[in-house]
């Protein structure tokens, strides 16, 4: 007698290979027992209710095997055992207390053998949730008359300035990889599309070794005409993300459970109407508990996290918008506040105390844009095609950008962005 536990379409089923006159030979039982783990088999058999409950199977049925073919044979010794890769920290700790040492698979080993690692239920859940996030994002925006665009990743010059760009030779011309679709999505608004969005890779050559930075990630970008006020952009953020979170909770229950059973997390707390605080209100809340923030500076990661805690305590939400940031800490193309140019028509959005969205109204007046670029130390000549786009009639507009991997990481309360990138790229990793 031999047991095989097989996975198919997210289910695991136990297959019983037992010698039987006429149908199953002892040789077949031997063949089944000798199959290496993770080999792929075709099975023909009779579905039945097993005598004893089956451990480790999602279905309490059994297939009594009649025919068995090995379609793809895995190497006998796998670099990762799936059992180990699927184990939660809690399980490891519990075993340790009982005097048993269980294998813990470290991050690098997981990523080196990613095709094995992603077979765990938690990882299957993570990437199915990721697929759902992108689709919820798109469906909401399409229903609000946004047009999906695809802007070039290969550009002359650097997309937003700074040193963190990947440079390359483009048919003899110096070029770089877009750090965001910022310039081209704005140009699309100048092209009369009214409201646009894009889902695509963005490239950052930063030497960041944190839990939340990657050198390549998937950007969810939005840009839209503004009729009266930059709050129109925040309204879209508000309704879009509430709709997305609702949709995830409703449609991804099994995937969220799969993630939670290996990496336990509390469901995200969010309000029906997203909380909006001004930057001034935010730093006042921090000041009230004794944390001094430079009024025209920026929040560091620690202050953001602390403010997230305070907001959760006071307002009962882990998702909120902080707006009207000091102009000095925003990119050159950010529109200053009309009533006080030390502030700007901009916002960041936070999940569980971490920034995930950055947005703003943009400067649409070419002369003023030139002036702002120069004031920020940018050589205006290098972005002339961008600035020229505003000379032929440009509507007031704004938008925002989100990292897909961060949304999934923070919605699921995961501790590392490498968990939500299928084949992550960081300063030390460009394979597999």
Residues 32-51 that bind a second copy (CB under 8 A): 38-40
**Chain centroid to CA 389:** 32
When binding is defined by CB under 8 A, the residue of 30, 67, 73, 287 that contacts a second copy is: 73
Sites for a second copy among residues 361-390 (CB under 8 A): 364-365, 385-386, 389-390
SS3 at position 207: coil
Instruction: Tell me whether residue 377 or residue 393 sits nearer to a second copy (CB atom).
Output: 393
Sites for a second copy among residues 235-264 (CB under 8 A): none
Under rule CB under 8 A, residue 128 binds a second copy: yes
206 is catalytic: yes
Is the CB of residue 205 less than 8 Å from the CB of residue 409? no
**Residue of 355, 372, 389, 397 with catalytic role:** 355
405 is catalytic: no
Under rule CB under 8 A, residue 432 binds a second copy: yes
When binding is defined by CB under 8 A, the residue of 15, 85, 149, 408 that contacts a second copy is: 149
Residues in the chain: 432
Nearest approach, Cβ of residue 20 and a second copy (Å):
26
Tell me the site size for a second copy, rule CB under 8 A: 88
Burial 397-427 (b: 16+ CB within 10 A, else e): bbbbbbbbbbbbbbbbbbeebbbbbeebbbe
Q: Is the peptide bond before 432 cis (omega within 30 degrees of 0)?
A: yes
Sites for a second copy among residues 200-229 (CB under 8 A): 200-201, 203, 205, 207, 215-216, 218
Name residue 342's beta-bridge partners. Answer: none
Is the CB of residue 424 less than 8 Å from the CB of residue 406? no
358 is catalytic: yes
Sites for a second copy among residues 75-114 (CB under 8 A): 75, 78-79, 113-114
**Residue of 213, 239, 251, 305 with catalytic role:** 213
Is the CB of residue 196 less than 8 Å from the CB of residue 118? no
Which residues contact residue 133 at a Cβ distance below 8 angstroms, ignoring those fewer than 6 apart?
Answer: 244, 248, 404, 407, 408, 411
Binding segment toward a second copy, per CB under 8 A, in 56-64, 167-175, 333-341, 370-378:
167-175
Nearest approach, Cβ of residue 158 and a second copy (Å):
13
Report how far residue 217's alpha carbon sits from residue 413's, in angstroms, rounded to the nearest whole number: 18
**Residue of 206, 232, 280, 354 with catalytic role:** 206
Instruction: Tell me whether residue 175 or residue 378 sits nearer to a second copy (CB atom).
Output: 175
Instruction: Tell me whether residue 155 or residue 233 sits nearer to a second copy (CB atom).
Output: 155
Nearest approach, Cβ of residue 393 and a second copy (Å):
4
Nearest approach, Cβ of residue 139 and a second copy (Å):
9
How far is residue 402 from each of residues 23, 27, 120, 143, 279, measured CA to CA in Å? 58, 57, 27, 19, 20
User: Whose CA is closest to 117, among 422, 427, 428?
Assistant: 422
Under rule CB under 8 A, residue 127 binds a second copy: yes
Report how far residue 38's alpha carbon sits from residue 118's, in angstroms, rounded to the nearest whole number: 13
Report how far residue 346's alpha carbon sits from residue 323's, in angstroms, rounded to the nearest whole number: 6
Under rule CB under 8 A, residue 188 binds a second copy: yes
Binding segment toward a second copy, per CB under 8 A, in 26-34, 93-101, 338-346, 418-426:
418-426
364 is catalytic: no
Residue 153 phi, psi (nearest 5): -90, -25
212 is catalytic: yes
Instruction: Tell me whether residue 201 or residue 260 sits nearer to a second copy (CB atom).
Output: 201
Nearest approach, Cβ of residue 201 and a second copy (Å):
5
Which residues contact residue 368 at a Cβ distance below 8 angstroms, ignoring those fewer than 6 apart?
Answer: none
Q: Which residues are catalytic?
A: 204, 206, 212-213, 355, 358, 406
């Amino acid at each position: 007698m031999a047991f095989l536990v097989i996975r198919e379409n997210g289910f695991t089923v136990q297959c019983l290979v037992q010698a039987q006159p006429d149908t199953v030979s002892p040789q077949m039982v031997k063949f089944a027992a000798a199959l290496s783990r993770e080999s792929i088999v075709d099975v023909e058999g009779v579905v039945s209710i097993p005598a004893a409950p089956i451990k480790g199977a999602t279905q309490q049925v059994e297939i009594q095997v009649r025919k068995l073919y090995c379609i793809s044979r895995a190497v006998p010794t796998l670099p990762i055992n799936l059992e180990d890769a699927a184990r939660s920290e809690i399980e490891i700790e519990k075993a340790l207390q009982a005097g048993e040492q269980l294998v813990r698979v470290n991050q690098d080993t997981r990523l080196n053998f990613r095709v094995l690692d992603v077979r765990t239920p938690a990882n299957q859940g993570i990437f199915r949730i990721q697929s759902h996030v992108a689709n919820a994002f798109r469906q909401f925006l399409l229903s609000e008359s946004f047009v999906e665009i695809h802007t070039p990743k290969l550009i002359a010059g650097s997309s937003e300035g700074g040193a963190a760009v990947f440079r390359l030779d483009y048919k003899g011309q110096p070029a770089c990889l877009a750090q965001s679709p910022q310039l081209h999505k704005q140009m699309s608004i100048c092209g009369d599309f009214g409201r646009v969005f894009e889902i695509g890779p963005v490239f950052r050559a930063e030497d960041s070794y944190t839990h939340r930075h990657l050198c390549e990630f998937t950007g969810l970008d939005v840009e839209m005409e503004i009729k009266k006020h930059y709050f129109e952009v925040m309204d879209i953020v508000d309704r879009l993300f509430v709709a997305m979170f609702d949709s995830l909770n409703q449609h991804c229950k099994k995937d969220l459970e799969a993630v939670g059973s290996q990496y336990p997390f509390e469901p995200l707390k969010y309000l029906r109407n997203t909380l909006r605080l001004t930057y001034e209100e935010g730093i006042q809340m921090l000041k009230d508990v004794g944390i001094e923030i430079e009024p025209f500076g920026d929040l560091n990661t620690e202050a953001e996290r602390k403010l997230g805690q305070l907001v959760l305590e006071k307002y009962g939400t882990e998702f909120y918008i902080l707006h009207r940031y000091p102009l000095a800490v925003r990119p050159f193309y950010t529109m200053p506040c009309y009533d006080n140019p030390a502030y700007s028509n901009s916002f960041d959005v936070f999940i569980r105390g971490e920034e995930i969205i950055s947005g703003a109204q943009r400067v649409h007046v070419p002369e003023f844009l030139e002036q702002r670029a120069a004031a920020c130390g940018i050589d205006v000549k290098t972005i002339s095609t961008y600035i020229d786009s505003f000379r032929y009639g440009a509507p007031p507009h704004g938008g925002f950008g989100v990292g897909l991997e961060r949304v999934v990481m923070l919605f699921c309360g995961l501790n590392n962005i490498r968990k939500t990138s299928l084949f992550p790229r960081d300063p030390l990793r460009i394979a597999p």
